[in-house]
Chain A
Amino acid sequence: MVLSANDKSNVKAVFGKIGGQAGDLGGEALDRLFITYPQTKTYFPHFDLSHGSAQIKAHGKKVADALVEAANHVDDIAGALSKLSDLHAQKLRVDPVNFKLLGHCFLVVVAIHFPSLLTPEVHASLDKFVCAVGTVLTAKYR
């Protein structure tokens, strides 16, 4: 899926509005991921995964920072996330299906905190964006 100029502009606008809250949103998305899709917890046996744990918040912020980075370099997401892509391919090897799940949870969190922002068109753009990020992160898997 290719991001149109409109998509890119929508993505930048969303992240512009989200601003400094991105880290919190990332934490919330991750929290929801573990509660809604318990199988995703299998990637974090070393974490305290209780609702709202400090580790979830910290990791959520990492995830959000990557999304912000991708949004800031929306013309070259593959370039911006190249190291992260290597990491996921070589070390983490998170099954590709899980990126969809996290992407969905991120959209839910945006819908909760910024409902008026998430018009159907912006929703489409953001959905494409998180798909694109997932694609980049799994691109080197094989």
Chain B
Amino acid sequence: MEGKEEEIREKVISRCKYLKGPVKTAVVPRLLIVYPWTQRFFDNFGNLSSATAIIGNPKVRAHGKKVLTSFGEAVKNLDNIKTTFSKLSELHCEKLHVDPENFRLLGDILIIVLAAHFGRDFNPACQATWQKLVGVVAHALAYKYH
């Protein structure tokens, strides 16, 4: 990522810190609602029978926080992301059996949640940077697949 993008990323990330709660908890529930086939990985999460159930489901919320915290780690270690996510990548391949397409879906949902939170601040350059970022994260998570 070039200089200007780093700058935007820093700006956006620092704002993200203050929106930890709403952004963190919104993403995974929205993924499960908008792309219901992603629920296939969460059979043991209990009630996912409706949007309300999904949003209120404590396991979903907890998982959302886990995922977004991990995302935050990726952002802090962008120069080293494949290494940072190496074990997670192996886990998603060998144990969780998650199609990497799902990482892209999550990334797109995150973008839309950010857009809803930041409004006009989420300008086109911001969006472009974040799309690159989610792409890099998805790629890193898929990297160890075999």
- Give residues in A with beta carbon < 8 Å to B: 31-32, 35-37, 51, 104-105, 107-109, 111-113, 115, 118-121, 123-124, 127
Contact = CB atoms under 8 A, between A and B. Distances in A.
B116 A115 contact: yes
A107 B124 contact: no
B124 A121 contact: no
B55 interface: yes
B29 A108 contact: no
A123 B127 contact: no
Interface of B: 29-30, 33-36, 51, 54-55, 108, 111-113, 115-120, 122, 124-125, 127-128, 131
B135 to A, nearest CB: 10
Contacts of A35: 124-125, 127-128
Contact of B112 (A36, A51, A107, A113): A107
B124 A32 contact: yes
A120 B29 contact: yes
Given A32-B124, A36-B127, A108 B115 contact: yes
Given A32-B124, A124-B34, A127-B34, A112 B115 contact: yes
5 contacts: A37-B131, A51-B124, A105-B127, A111-B116, A112-B115
Given A32-B128, A37-B131, A115-B119, 12 more contacts: A35-B127, A35-B128, A107-B112, A108-B122, A109-B115, A111-B112, A112-B115, A112-B118, A112-B122, A120-B33, A121-B33, A124-B36
